[in-house]
């Protein structure tokens, strides 16, 4: 985890994410790429002669963004961390993915303030691509964390073979935090497995990537989302991990549907791993 990308609109939610990213950067000796996307039509500014009035406005917003960057990077919590200032000329959240590829970023850390925040940042026509198409883990932060420690990490899955790579990523993250992984399979009325079959599926799933610090859990609930939230609340999890699929959006194991509920309603951090 050498490079971390943090998109920012300079809001409190974005600052919460940046504070977590700073803690991760100090722990892993990482660099942070702080990305701001200006909400002005820079394609119109290119024709400077034809639209001479647009240039002063564009320059004003660029100057304002740089001032905000300077204020943020003067924060004590960023002391000793290499922070790169990155500005994109529009608010298309495809720029997040593009910036990650440009700089070989290892993880995205993003802020959210609940249902409306998640929908604005992730589920909109452009922003959904961040989670749905990101090839690297995306960590969604809801609240301020003075000390971002992960002792109990829930990894929820259907434990089918195409999720195995995401499990490896989750275990690597757990090792970095010295965390216990709580493997979670949620039974629902419409998709039910008996305990013996569920445990065998999980055991077969994890056997090729040994990791001793884990628990195995089969949890019954009305829906997968509710099961994950209720189980995580019961054990007071510090982090929830789920798999994503490029074609099916968030939560590959949600019978192919795109479910926003988990990240919308979870009060604790959620990290997504691309299948």
Q: What percent of the chain has pLDDT over 90?
A: 45
Average pLDDT over residues 183-202: 92
Q: Indicate if the pLDDT at residue 251 is higher than 50.
A: no
Say how far residue 200 (Cα) sits from the centre of its chain.
Answer: 30
> How far, in Å, are 194, 206, 216 from residue 201 at the CA level?
11, 9, 11
Whole-number pLDDT of residue 129? 63
Whole-number pLDDT of residue 39? 64
Do 182 and 237 form a contact (C-beta atoms < 8 A)? yes
Q: Is the dihedral of CA 250, 251, 253, 254 positive or negative?
A: negative
> How far, in Å, are 111, 165, 168 from residue 209 at the CA level?
31, 10, 7
Do 72 and 10 form a contact (C-beta atoms < 8 A)? yes
pLDDT band at 95 (very low <50, low <70, confident <90, very high): confident
Q: What is the pLDDT of residues 40-72, one digit of tens each?
A: 554 544 544 445 555 666 667 677 777 888 889
Q: What is the pLDDT of residues 118-174, one digit of tens each?
A: 555 444 444 456 777 788 998 988 889 999 999 999 999 989 877 788 899 999 999
User: What is the rounded CA–CA span in Å between residue 68 and residue 116?
Assistant: 24
- Enter the pTM of the model: 0.84
Q: What is the mean pLDDT of the chain?
A: 81
């Amino acid at each position: 985890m050498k490079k971390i990308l943090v998109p920012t609109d300079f809001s409190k939610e974005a600052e919460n994410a940046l504070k977590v990213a700073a803690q991760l950067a100090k722990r892993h000796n990482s660099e942070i790429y702080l990305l701001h996307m200006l909400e002005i039509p820079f394609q119109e500014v290119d024709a400077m002669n034809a639209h001479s009035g647009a240039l002063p406005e564009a320059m004003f917003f660029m100057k304002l963004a740089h001032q905000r960057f300077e204020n943020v990077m003067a924060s004590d919590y960023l002391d000793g961390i290499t922070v790169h200032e990155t500005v994109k000329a529009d608010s298309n959240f495809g720029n997040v993915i593009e910036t990650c590829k440009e700089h070989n970023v290892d993880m995205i850390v993003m802020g959210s303030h609940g249902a409306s925040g998640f929908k604005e940042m992730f589920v909109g026509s452009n922003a959904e691509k961040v989670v749905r198409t990101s090839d690297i883990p995306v960590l969604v932060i809801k609240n301020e964390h003075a000390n971002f420690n992960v002792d109990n990490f829930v990894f929820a899955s259907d434990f089918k073979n195409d999720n195995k790579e995401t499990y490896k990523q989750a275990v690597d993250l757990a090792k970095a935090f010295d965390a216990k992984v709580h493997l979670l399979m949620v039974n629902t009325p419409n998709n039910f497995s008996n305990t013996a079959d569920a445990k065998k599926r999980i055991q077969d799933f994890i056997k090729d990537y040994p990791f001793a610090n884990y628990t195995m859990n089969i949890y019954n609930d009305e829906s997968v989302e509710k099961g994950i939230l209720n189980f995580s609340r019961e054990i007071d999890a510090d982090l929830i991990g789920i798999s994503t699929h490029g074609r099916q959006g968030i939560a590959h194991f949600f019978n192919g549907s795109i479910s926003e509920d988990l990240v919308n309603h979870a009060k604790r951090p959620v990290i997504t791993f691309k299948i």
